[in-house]
A and B are shown apart, each in its own frame.
Chain A
């Protein structure tokens, strides 16, 4: 039974991946569509990275800090050294991971509320430092960033899409392996009961810091990808909404699962885009806020738990009749 369900999940994964590869062929090389899809993929990386940190019981409210740090690092290095964004994206991730460890060091001893507030505050600090160091970061106006694929190449957006898709698949695979490994188990044990995990001989500090580093690394990569897609970066990347998006995606999709952030990002992005095309501005955030509240209230395990919920309902009805 359990094997069968895993099979279905793997099957669904392969089908959706094939769909992702074929989408440009099915719908044509629409610039708008590919842009939406690229951003969706970037946010899938971002949400999955956030989810990994949440797996260790640490819910961050300031992940935009790592997103922005990754972006700025990559843009600044690429601009000043003149190397291709492919190498600097990695540098962005590594620097974000370094900062992540520093933040993690102050956070490992903190419980949920404190952690949430400190990370929240850290995004504000990152924002201020960035705007104040205007000789390096361009202040409020930001700086230009190189395009991932030069615009001069015909159909560059198509290559960019496949490149980001490839990176996303690799990142998801790595995160999947981490979650299924001993490390993932240790993180879950820490989340469930930190004291018991410690008693069982798990080095809590080490694993928590590791979760911070890995999560910040992939978040930095997502940030770098986004800004190299847009071609510029401003302090707006530290915005509260950038911190909140991965949370919204993870909650609505299904927290602490590998498929939850992916599903959540896809569904919420599609909803957001279609409401945007409706000409809705504030209304669509109201809708998303409401969805978040309703999911927390009625569907705490997210959209991925809907099939199981229906199944158990049917079972209940059968046992009654």
Chain B
């Protein structure tokens, strides 16, 4: 049982990293980047290629991959989202669709659809606590996520830039009147969000998952579920919802199997794992159309 919790927290960390980036971009720009999963995918590929050519410790590569994807994020914001900002929400959604098509197929074209993987240097190290097995990679990912979250929170609360970002997300016009360069805040938020997505992609890859051009889709839609459940723009909401979702999607199939077994049937529910997020999402939205921690309005 605790074993399942460990998997849940590990998956939850990846969702949180994605969701925080999405939330930040939404907060500042009021844009939902549906191509966020593709940034995760590109982050994983960046980590893979740097690792292949340098073969240093893969965890040390992640900052480089984050930097690369952050630069890409700046380009996307400049050339894509900034010009269509404010022309209608549907347009922004459609622009993301174009980006999804572009990135997935560009990667497939350049590097084929073969799965890529990195062998983690700690792949064989498994910590045993009682009967629970905790791979060292999972522990590192959980710690790295916590470090990122603390650093992110400090940045938003303590630095001038972070304050300016929060001001922009609260009231764009007023922030602009106060002399904040709101367009620069857009750029920064997109760069930061992209970097977090790249970190999620790199960690996902190192922890033994495969990278292929279509890997971004499922984590991204789960991250969307996380930010809706947690409320658009709410950071604590994203953390709570991310962990809940990660745990729920591992626990629910397990319980279902046990439940059916009581009635004498034997059925596996692992195939339902990916739908758990959406059932939770739909239930939450029926009860509270703005999400659990969401504010009224948007």
Contact = CB atoms under 8 A, between A and B. Distances in A.
A195 interface: no
Contacts of A282: 105-106, 108-109
A59 B26 CA distance: 18
B221 A286 contact: no
Interface string A288-302: 111111001100100
Which of B87, B105, B217, B277 gathers most chain A CB within 10 Å? Answer: B105
Interface in A93-122: 106, 109-114, 116-118, 120-122
A283 B106 CA distance: 7
Interface in B56-85: 80, 83-84
A106 B271 contact: no
Contacts of B34: 61, 116
Interface in B102-134: 102, 104-106, 108-109
A293 B93 contact: no
Contacts of A289: 98-102, 105
A282 B105 CA distance: 5
A131 B271 contact: yes
A286 B282 contact: no
Given A286-B102, A289-B105, A112 B94 contact: no
Contact of A116 (B80, B93, B101, B105): B93
Contacts of A281: 109
Contacts of A117: 32, 221, 224-225, 228, 281
A132 interface: yes
Report whether over half of chain B's contact residues are helix, strand or loop; otherwise say mixed.
helix
B93 A59 contact: yes
A227 interface: no
B49 interface: no
Contact of B95 (A106, A128, A283, A293): A293
Interface stretch (A25-33, A40-48, A243-251): A243-251
A125 B101 contact: no
Contact of A255 (B90, B232, B279): B90
A247 B90 CA distance: 10
A302 B271 CA distance: 40
B87 to A, nearest CB: 6
A54 interface: yes
Interface string B221-239: 1001100100010000000
Contact of B101 (A110, A132, A292, A296): A292
B89 A124 contact: no
B95 A296 contact: yes
Nearest to B273: A128
A244 B32 contact: no
A45 to B, nearest CB: 21
Interface in A304-320: none
Nearest to B294: A114
Nearest to B283: A106
Interface residues of B, number: 44
B278 interface: yes
Contacts of A132: 271-272
B105 A106 contact: no
B97 interface: yes
Nearest to B32: A113
Given A120-B224, A297-B84, A112 B90 contact: yes
A247 B97 CA distance: 9
A51 to B, nearest CB: 12
Given A116-B34, A124-B221, A297 B95 contact: yes
A240 interface: yes
A290 B286 CA distance: 37
Contacts of B217: 240
Contact of A109 (B87, B99, B106, B289): B289
Contacts of A86: none
Contacts of B32: 113, 116-117
A272 to B, nearest CB: 12
A100 to B, nearest CB: 15
B161 interface: no
B153 interface: no
Interface string B267-298: 00001101101110110011001000000001
A286 to B, nearest CB: 5
B282 A118 contact: yes
Given A59-B90, A255-B90, A286-B101, A114 B289 contact: yes
Contact of A286 (B106, B224, B272): B106
A285 interface: yes
A129 B279 CA distance: 12
A247 B272 contact: no
B181 interface: no
Nearest to B272: A128
A125 B279 contact: yes
Contact of A244 (B97, B228, B232): B97
A129 to B, nearest CB: 8
A106 B102 contact: no
Closest 10 CB pairs of A and B: A289-B101, A292-B98, A121-B278, A289-B102, A293-B98, A282-B109, A285-B105, A112-B89, A282-B105, A117-B224
Given A106-B285, A128-B271, A286-B106, 15 more contacts: A59-B93, A61-B97, A110-B285, A116-B34, A117-B224, A118-B285, A120-B224, A121-B224, A244-B97, A282-B108, A292-B94, A292-B95, A292-B98, A293-B95, A293-B98
25 contacts: A106-B282, A112-B89, A112-B90, A113-B26, A117-B224, A120-B224, A124-B278, A128-B274, A247-B97, A248-B97, A282-B108, A285-B101, A285-B105, A286-B102, A286-B109, A289-B100, A289-B105, A292-B95, A293-B80, A293-B95, A293-B98, A293-B102, A296-B84, A297-B84, A300-B87
